Chains A and B, each alone.
Chain A
């Protein structure tokens, strides 16, 4: 297999690490993490301005050239996701949208049915749609049909740092879906991100782990390297696991061939 660049909606990405911008202690730490890991795609959210307090413009802290993807967090159904997407587009900051429709506040699981509906509407309006979804093959197929640019299955619960709990189901999407598969949510350590990439994911998006680390820039860089390593391992066609040993050294005695004892 060759190391071809990741292409989403005609745009080429050298880095396969995407970074969320929530939960950082301050904008400086966020900007340092973006720069340190070399990510070329970050997610942002939209919220009402607090008219009583000063609010910094986060976009001023995102280096130029990084693709901005607005998420539709806060949307509880397709209609609200569509409204948020249209607002984001009106800002003049592009038309890349991560659809996130959630109406369960305990587990924050995405509503796949509403996500498909929103994808259909927004893709038809010309948005580049990156839907966050629960890894289900039928949903993924419906998202392809609806015009999604990628499919973004969750690894585990948002912000949980539990890693690739949905591993086997993500593998099905990797095998069956002809769109970039970006593992999103729950990825709490570079080793978990590498695991997703070894499995054949096209990219990984992380946020909480990096933003809440003691040194976000250092962890962001570690994530980027782990993702690159995992991708290389995938391309190398990793050997499968075995249940019995397979010697790495010649199976003869040191000087004389001694028959093995049973």
Chain B
């Protein structure tokens, strides 16, 4: 299944829960924020939210800023 993660098309194999995507593409999951097709998915819903072919997923985290 192909999805777009942070602007890059990725082929997902296996499970398509948001929690799996976070585990696969983020070095650590603390304070990571996810959006699927522009809708925020809170971390407590990662385990019961799946993504589908063509979905746009954003993985966002805090960085330094003024």
Contacts and interface: CB of A to CB of B under 8 A. Distances in A.
Interface stretch (A53-61, A121-129, A143-151): A53-61
B62 A59 contact: yes
A45 B65 contact: yes
A47 B60 contact: yes
Contacts of A30: 64
Interface residues of B, number: 25
A55 B35 contact: no
Contact of B7 (A48, A60, A86, A87): A48
B23 interface: no
A86 B25 CA distance: 22
A172 interface: no
A207 B5 CA distance: 31
B41 to A, nearest CB: 8
A44 interface: yes
Interface string B30-54: 1111010000101100000000000
Interface in B1-48: 5-8, 25-28, 30-33, 35, 40, 42-43
Interface string A21-60: 1111000001000000000000111111111001101111
A92 B33 CA distance: 9
A70 B33 CA distance: 13
B62 A57 contact: yes
A86 B61 contact: no
Nearest to A73: B65
Interface of B: 5-8, 25-28, 30-33, 35, 40, 42-43, 58-66
Closest 6 CB pairs of A and B: A45-B65, A20-B66, A207-B66, A21-B64, A22-B64, A51-B25
30 contacts: A20-B65, A20-B66, A21-B64, A22-B63, A22-B64, A22-B66, A24-B64, A44-B63, A44-B64, A44-B65, A45-B62, A45-B64, A46-B60, A46-B62, A46-B63, A47-B60, A48-B58, A48-B60, A51-B6, A55-B61, A57-B28, A57-B31, A58-B63, A60-B30, A71-B66, A87-B33, A87-B35, A88-B33, A90-B43, A211-B64
